[in-house]
C-alpha cells in the first residue's frame, strides 16, 4: 500500500501489511540454509573422494610391492624398528649405515610390525605406506592455489610421475621396498609445504627447525639439500624485500640453527649409549672427473624417472616413453620456475633450488655412479610437483575442458599403476629355509650378510641368524654396517649352526675352513646348513655392552679373530 492512502475500514489491515516483510524476504534464511547444507555435502563428498583415492593408491602400491623382494638391508631396518618399538629407543649396540631413518621409516615399520607381526607382509605394508606418504606430501604441494577439477588433474599428474618408474623391477626396489632416500623426501616436502602455507606465522620457524633437525638425524641428505634450499630461497626473499625482521628471516635462522642442533642431539644420544652411524661418503671427486660425472648423473636422473629401457621393465618401450614424458614435464616445470622466478611462489622456488642442489651434490661427489639413483631419489617427487603445477593451470574453465583434463590425467596415472600391479606376488626364496630351521629347533646361528637378517625377520625373530663376512680366508669379520655388536657376545647367545650359500661367496668350504668340520650337514633349497656342538661365537669376538664413544670412527670391518689387529 502506498503511504497516505486510506481505505474505508481497513486501517488495521493496512498497518499489519505495512509491518510484514515481503514474502521473498521470508525465504532468504531458508535459501541460505539450503546453500550451506549443499556446501557441506560437497565438502564431505570431496573428502570421501580424496580418502578413497588415497586408499586405492595404497592398494596399488602394496600390490606392486608384493611383487618385489626384501633383502637383508631392509630386514635389518625391520629388526631396528622391532627393537625401537619394544623399548630399545636408543638402539644400543647397533652400527647403522650412513642413513638411520630414525624419525620416519623405523617408527612406521615398528607400528606396522606391532599390528601385523614381524614378517614379509609387514615389510610390504610399511613400504607402501612410506611411498603413499611421500605421494600425499607431493600432491599437497602440487594442488596449492588450485580449485575444483584442476586439483584432481594435478593430483593425477603427480601420481603418474611417481608411478611410471615402478614399471621397472629395479626401480620398485629403489623406491618401494626397504627404506632408502625416497622416504627422506617427506621431511623436505613437509618443510616446503609449511613454508609455503604459513611463512609468517609465529610457530613456523620453530616447527621448521624441528622438522629439519629430525630429518638430518634420519638422513643427512636433508642437510645437504633442504637446508641450503631454505637458506637460499628465504635469504633471497629477505634481500628482495629489504626487511630483516620478517618471516623469511626467521626461517633462515631456523634452517641454520637446525644443523648444530642436530649435531648436539646426535652427540647426546651417543653419550647415552645410542646406535653408531657410519659416516656418509661426502667427499668431493677430482674436478677432472666432473664431465664424466655429469654424464653419469644424467643417466641416474633418467633411470630415476623410468626413462631408460631396462630388461626388467614392463611395457618396455611404452614405459620408457612414459618416463621420458614425465622427465620432460619436470624439466619444463623447472624451467618455468626459473623464467618466472620473481613471481613464483615459495614452494616452487624451494623445489627448484632443491633439485639443482641435489643433482649438483651428486655431480661433484665421489658417489656419481650409474647405480646411485637412490642418492637423488627426492628429485622424483620434487619434479612431479613442478610438472603438475606447470602442466595444469590453477583453474580449468568450462565443463568439457575440465572433464577432458581430469580424464586424461587419470588415465595417464592408471596405466603405469595397473601395468606394474600385474607383476605376480613373489614368495621369498628364504621362506623354506626359515621354516626348516625353526622346525628343527635351530634358533641361533651365523651366515653371510645376504642370508642372515632376511631369514631372521621373515621368521618373526624366532630364528636368529647373525651376519659374518669372509673377506680373506680363514678370517671372519662382522660387517661394520647394519649390524648389532651385542648379537656376537658368547656369554649371551649360543650359535650352533652356519648357513652357507650353495653358489655364493659365503661357501661351505670357507666356513668349514674357519669353524672346522661340522658334525652334520644338510642341504635346504639353495643352502647348506652346517651343525656344530660348540658355540661358534667363541671363535669370533667377545663384545661388551660399553657404548661407542662420541666422535669415534669404527673400521669398515672388525676382525673378530684378532680384534686388536
419: closest CA among 64, 181, 34?
64
With b meaning 16 or more CB within 10 Å and e meaning fewer, what string describes 376-401? Answer: bbbbbbbbbbbbbbbbbeeebeeeee
Set of cell numbers at residue 4:
497516505
Residue 131 CA to residue 175 CA, distance in Å, equals 7
Number of neighbours of residue 415 by Cβ within 10 angstroms: 18
Per the CB < 8 A criterion, the answer to whether 93 and 485 are in contact is: yes
Cell of residue 241, nine digits: 624485500
Q: Residue 274: which residues within 8 A CB-CB, separation 6 or more? A: 90, 91, 92, 547
In the DSSP assignment, the letter for residue 284 is B
Write the DSSP assignment of 184-201 as a string of letters: HHHHHHHHHHHHHHHTTS
Q: Would you call the peptide bond into 474 cis, given omega within 30 degrees of 0 as the criterion?
A: yes
Per-residue pLDDT of the chain (565 residues; tens, 9 = 90+): 444 444 444 455 455 555 555 555 556 666 666 666 767 777 788 788 888 989 999 999 999 999 888 888 889 999 999 999 999 999 998 998 888 999 999 999 999 999 999 988 999 999 999 999 999 999 999 999 888 899 999 999 999 999 999 998 888 888 988 777 899 999 999 999 999 999 889 999 999 999 999 999 999 999 999 999 999 999 999 999 888 888 899 999 999 999 999 999 999 999 999 998 887 777 788 889 889 989 999 999 999 999 988 777 787 778 888 899 999 999 999 999 999 999 999 999 999 999 999 999 999 988 888 878 888 999 999 999 999 999 999 998 888 888 898 999 999 999 999 999 988 888 888 889 999 999 999 999 999 888 899 999 999 999 999 998 776 555 677 777 888 988 988 889 999 999 998 766 667 788 888 888 999 999 998 899 999 999 998 887 433 333 333 333 443 333 333 333 3
Q: What's this model's pTM, rounded to 2 decimal places?
A: 0.87
Strand 444-447 with 520-524, pairing: unpaired
User: How many Cβ atoms are within 10 Å of 115's Cβ, its own excluded?
Assistant: 9
Let me know: does 463 contact 438? Beta carbons within 8 Å.
yes
| Strands 94-96 vs 276-277: parallel, antiparallel or unpaired | parallel
E-assigned strand segments in 370-519: 444-447, 464-467, 469-472, 475-479, 483-484, 497-501
For CA atoms 336, 341, 344, 347, the dihedral sign is: positive
Q: Which of 83, 91, 79, 130 lies closest to 108, judged by CA?
A: 130
Torsion angle of the four alpha carbons 371, 373, 376, 382, in this order, in degrees rounded to the nearest 10: 180
Cell for 129?
605406506
Q: For the beta carbon of residue 194, count every other beta carbon within 10 angstroms.
A: 19
Q: Residues 226-257, buried b or exposed e (16+ Cβ, 10 A)?
A: bbbbbbbbbbbbbeeeeeeebbbbbbbebbbb
Amino acid at each position: 500500500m502506498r503511504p497516505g492512502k486510506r481505505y474505508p475500514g481497513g486501517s488495521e489491515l493496512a498497518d499489519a501489511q505495512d509491518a510484514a516483510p515481503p514474502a521473498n524476504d521470508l525465504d532468504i534464511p531458508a535459501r541460505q540454509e539450503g546453500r550451506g547444507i549443499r556446501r557441506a555435502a560437497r565438502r564431505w563428498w570431496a573428502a570421501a573422494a580424496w580418502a578413497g583415492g588415497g586408499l586405492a593408491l595404497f592398494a596399488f602400491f602394496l600390490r606392486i610391492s608384493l611383487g618385489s623382494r626384501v633383502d637383508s638391508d631392509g630386514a635389518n631396518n625391520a629388526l631396528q624398528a622391532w627393537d625401537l618399538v619394544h623399548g630399545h629407543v636408543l638402539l644400543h649396540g647397533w652400527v647403522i649405515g650412513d642413513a638411520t631413518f630414525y624419525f620416519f621409516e623405523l617408527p612406521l615399520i615398528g607400528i606396522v610390525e606391532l599390528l601385523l607381526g614381524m614378517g614379509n607382509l609387514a615389510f610390504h605394508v610399511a613400504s607402501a605406506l612410506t611411498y603413499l606418504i611421500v605421494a600425499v606430501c607431493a600432491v599437497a604441494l602440487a594442488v596449492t592455489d588450485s580449485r575444483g577439477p584442476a586439483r584432481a588433474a594435478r593430483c593425477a599428474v603427480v601420481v603418474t610421475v611417481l608411478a611410471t618408474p615402478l614399471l621397472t623391477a629395479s626401480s620398485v626396489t629403489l623406491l618401494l621396498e626397504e627404506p632408502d632416500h625416497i622416504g627422506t623426501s617427506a621431511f623436505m616436502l613437509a618443510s616446503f609445504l609449511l613454508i609455503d602455507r604459513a611463512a609468517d606465522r609465529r610457530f613456523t620457524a620453530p616447527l621448521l627447525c624441528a622438522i629439519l633437525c629430525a630429518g638430518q638425524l634420519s638422513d643427512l641428505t636433508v642437510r645437504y639439500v633442504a637446508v641450503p634450499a631454505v637458506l637460499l630461497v628465504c635469504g633471497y626473499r629477505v634481500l628482495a624485500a629489504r626487511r630483516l625482521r620478517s618471516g623469511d628471516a626467521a626461517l633462515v635462522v631456523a634452517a641454520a640453527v637446525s644443523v648444530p642442533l642436530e649435531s648436539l642431539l646426535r652427540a647426546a644420544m651417543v653419550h647415552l649409549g645410542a646406535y653408531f652411524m657410519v659416516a656418509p661418503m661426502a667427499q668431493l671427486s677430482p674436478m677432472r672427473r666432473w664431465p664424466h660425472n655429469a654424464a653419469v648423473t644424467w643417466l641416474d636422473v633418467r633411470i630415476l624417472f623410468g626413462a631408460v629401457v631396462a630388461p626388467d621393465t614392463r611395457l618396455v618401450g611404452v614405459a620408457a616413453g612414459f618416463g621420458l614424458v614425465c622427465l620432460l614435464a619436470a624439466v619444463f616445470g623447472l624451467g618455468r620456475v626459473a623464467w618466472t622466478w620473481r613471481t613464483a611462489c615459495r614452494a616452487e622456488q624451494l623445489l627448484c633450488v632443491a633439485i639443482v642442489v641435489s643433482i649438483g651434490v651428486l655431480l661433484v661427489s665421489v658417489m656419481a655412479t650409474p647405480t646411485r639413483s637412490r642418492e637423488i631419489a627426492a628429485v622424483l617427487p620434487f619434479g612431479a610437483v613442478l610438472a603438475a603445477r606447470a602442466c595444469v593451470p590453477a583453474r580449468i574453465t568450462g565443463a568439457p575442458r575440465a572433464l577432458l583434463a581430469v580424464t586424461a590425467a587419470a588415465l595417464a596415472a592408471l596405466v603405469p599403476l595397473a601395468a606394474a600391479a600385474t607383476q605376480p606376488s613373489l614368495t621369498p626364496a628364504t621362506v623354506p629355509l626359515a621354516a626348516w630351521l625353526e622346525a628343527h629347533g635351530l634358533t641361533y646361528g651365523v651366515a653371510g650378510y645376504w642370508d642372515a637378517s632376511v631369514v631372521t625377520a621373515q621368521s618373526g625373530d624366532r630364528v636368529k641368524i647373525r651376519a659374518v663376512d669372509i673377506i680373506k680366508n680363514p678370517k671372519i669379520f662382522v660387517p661394520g654396517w647394519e649390524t648389532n655388536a651385542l648379537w656376537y657376545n658368547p656369554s649371551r647367545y649360543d650359535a650352533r649352526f652356519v648357513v652357507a650359500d650353495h653358489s655364493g661367496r659365503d661357501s661351505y668350504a670357507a666356513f668349514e675352513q674357519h669353524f672346522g668340520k661340522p658334525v652334520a650337514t644338510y642341504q635346504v633349497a639353495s643352502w647348506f646348513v652346517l651343525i656344530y656342538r660348540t658355540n661358534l661365537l667363541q671363535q669370533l669376538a667377545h663384545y661388551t655392552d660399553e657404548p661407542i664413544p662420541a666422535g669415534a670412527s669404527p673400521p669398515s670391518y672388525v676382525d673378530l679373530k684378532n680384534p686388536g689387529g
